[in-house]
């Protein structure tokens, strides 16, 4: 039974996830790569009961489950396997006591399999478990997780996972969770571009954008992305719910992984290029609804 949980990566996703786990009664350890994090942004987590750890290995030695929430696949690899003080050097790997690592980052499926193989070679469990719902879902505890890994490991993590998710699905073996997450990102971001073009089309014809959005929500165009992004575009409020730079990262991973298998993703590649252009304008920390501003010129 999982009682002690270590959280690596305590940003906009990791911090609320850790807070939910503390509220659910777990003994939670935290490690942040940012210097003085626990004296500044992370001070509230310490007040609520988190124990700060000096490095990933020391954390892993005390934890049944280690959860990672970092940005790039290389970062996940480093904190889990690559560094001298990585998780793998402290994690429990005995027959009767074995740590499991669950990664909520969005990384390449092949990287997820590589990390999983490395951990399993040392007797450590692995579940790639990217999430959908963004910072809003993390704060509300309503994230949805796509799971890749062995049945035994997945069954073990379901109880703590339920502390901050409203749904999950075991997709398949290692890396399958990441495949499902990238499918989600492809559909999500291409839809955001469609919403941007629809709202701009309404604007240039000088019709009420809110009325158009309302009637679209009653038809086949209805979607969560329309409901979330159209009001931002209409109000031109591009404050980040999901930073556009992260969608560039995710779509780049999807396009690269697809290209390696000889498959093109024309719409995804186009939207990725548009978002990449926007990064050059300094809009990388704006919400992906900024696609509206890009086509407004």
Does the pLDDT of residue 161 top 70, yes or no? yes
Alpha carbons 85 and 57: distance in angstroms, whole number: 5
pLDDT recorded at residue 170: 98
pLDDT recorded at residue 33: 84
Work out the pLDDT band at 41, boundaries 50, 70, 90: confident
Does the pLDDT of residue 96 top 70, yes or no? no
Give the residue-averaged pLDDT of 138-160. Answer: 96
pLDDT recorded at residue 138: 94
For the chain, domains (ranges, CATH) are: 4-174 (3.40.50.720), 180-296 (1.10.1040.10)
Does the pLDDT of residue 36 top 90, yes or no? no
Q: What digits encode the pLDDT tens for the residues 182-202?
A: 999 999 999 999 999 999 999
Q: Of 142-146, 271-275, 292-296, which gets the smallest average pLDDT?
A: 292-296
Give the residue-averaged pLDDT of 21-37. Answer: 92
Q: What digits encode the pLDDT tens for the residues 214-266?
A: 999 999 999 999 999 999 999 999 887 778 888 999 999 999 999 999 999 99
Distances (CA, A) of 30 to 67, 104, 138: 10, 15, 17
Alpha carbons 176 and 219: distance in angstroms, whole number: 32
pLDDT recorded at residue 101: 97
Alpha carbons 210 and 93: distance in angstroms, whole number: 57
Give the residue-averaged pLDDT of 29-58. Answer: 90
Note the pTM of the prediction, 2 decimals.
0.92
pLDDT recorded at residue 240: 74
* 89, burial (CB in 10 Å: exposed 0-12, middle 13-18, buried 19+): middle
Does the pLDDT of residue 210 top 80, yes or no? yes
Please compute, for residue 44, the number of CA atoms within 13 A of its CA located in the half-sphere on the CB side: 8
Q: What is the DSSP letter of 194?
A: H
Work out the pLDDT band at 295, boundaries 50, 70, 90: confident
Tokens of 294: 């890009």
Which residues are identified as catalytic? 181
Work out the pLDDT band at 7, boundaries 50, 70, 90: very high
Alpha carbons 81 and 185: distance in angstroms, whole number: 27
CB neighbours of 180 closer than 8 A, spacing ≥ 6? 130, 146, 148, 169, 171
């Amino acid at each position: 039974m999982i009682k002690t949980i270590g959280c690596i990566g305590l940003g906009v996703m990791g911090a609320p996830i850790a807070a939910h786990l503390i509220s659910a009664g777990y003994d939670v350890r935290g490690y942040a790569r940012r210097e003085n994090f626990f004296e500044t942004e992370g001070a509230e987590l310490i007040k609520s009961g988190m124990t700060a750890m000096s490095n990933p290995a020391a954390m892993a030695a005390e934890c049944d489950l280690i959860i990672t929430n970092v940005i790039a696949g290389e970062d996940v690899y480093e904190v889990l396997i690559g560094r001298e003080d990585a998780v793998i050097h402290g994690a429990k790997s005995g027959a009767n006591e074995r740590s499991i690592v669950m990664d909520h980052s969005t990384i390449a499926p092949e990287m997820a399999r590589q990390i999983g193989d490395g951990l399993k070679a040392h007797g450590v469990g692995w579940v790639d478990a990217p999430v959908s719902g963004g910072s809003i879902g993390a704060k509300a505890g309503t994230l949805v997780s796509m799971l890749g890994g062995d049945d035994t490991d997945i069954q073990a993590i379901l109880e703590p996972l339920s502390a901050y998710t409203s749904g999950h699905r075991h997709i398949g073996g290692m890396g399958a969770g990441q495949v499902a997450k990238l499918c989600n990102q492809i559909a999500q971001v291409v839809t955001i571009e469609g919403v941007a073009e629809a709202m701009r089309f309404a604007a240039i014809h000088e019709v009420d954008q809110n009325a158009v959005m309302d009637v679209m929500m009653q038809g086949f165009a209805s979607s969560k992305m329309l409901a979330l992004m159209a009001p931002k575009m209409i109000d031109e409020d591009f404050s980040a719910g999901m930073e556009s730079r992260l969608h560039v990262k995710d779509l780049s991973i999807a396009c690269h992984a697809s290209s390696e298998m000889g498959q093109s993703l024309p719409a995804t590649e186009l939207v990725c290029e548009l978002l990449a252009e926007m990064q050059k304008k300094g809009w990388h920390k704006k919400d992906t609804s900024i696609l509206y501003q890009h086509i407004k010129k």
